[in-house]
Structure 1
């Protein structure tokens, strides 16, 4: 029974009718309460002219270019985010080291015999200030 209905649905017509207000309507099924007539619809051949193909190609090229640019921006943003995260981690470590240096009372060097040679107070101050400047230049004043 269903096989017999398939050809009918493939050849479904277009119906035209006029409602009580005088407006014309079209549909794929005839209305129940109005007189209708079946309209023959002639479809244009499916050929595409050269201009349409060219417009389609230009649109496709434009969309491809937009996609490439979007992907390039996303890659650049991801790279910038990664760089910012690395910079933030470096600054966190430098600030922790600066805090540690503030707690150290005096610095020393180790000579060739493995002995500690303590530096004077001026050298202690210079070491701390040099490191403070390194943190400022690398991380800013925040």
Structure 2
């Protein structure tokens, strides 16, 4: 039977220390200028008042559902704003030029693959391999997807 070691299970240590954190005390005191300070240890030179912190409120299912619904509404609003900004904003000329260049490259690659000429690629070992059969079909699919992406 295996023995349980707290050093091997840091979550167990945190779980064991959790009640201590919940029962933590807070000290408050005023300095010479009348400013109020708070700390987890009392000051050595002054008398401090001990304050107990209230526990965290328990999350009820209703509260959690309301938080989740509010987060989903915010997300939907942001998505809607992003879509409206994308449609209304004209494309940057530099981006348009880059898109046109990539479209032309993709079309050239597709045309070369469809021409029937022997094409080569480099495999995982670094050797040249002819694109034939299923390998060629995979490249054709990728080239068509690239044209569809860049030339829309």
- Is the TM value for this pair above 0.5? no
| Larger RCO, structure (CA 8 Å, separation 6 or more) | 2
TM-score in terms of structure 2 length:
0.35
| Structure with larger Rg | 1
With normalisation by structure 1, the TM-score equals 0.37
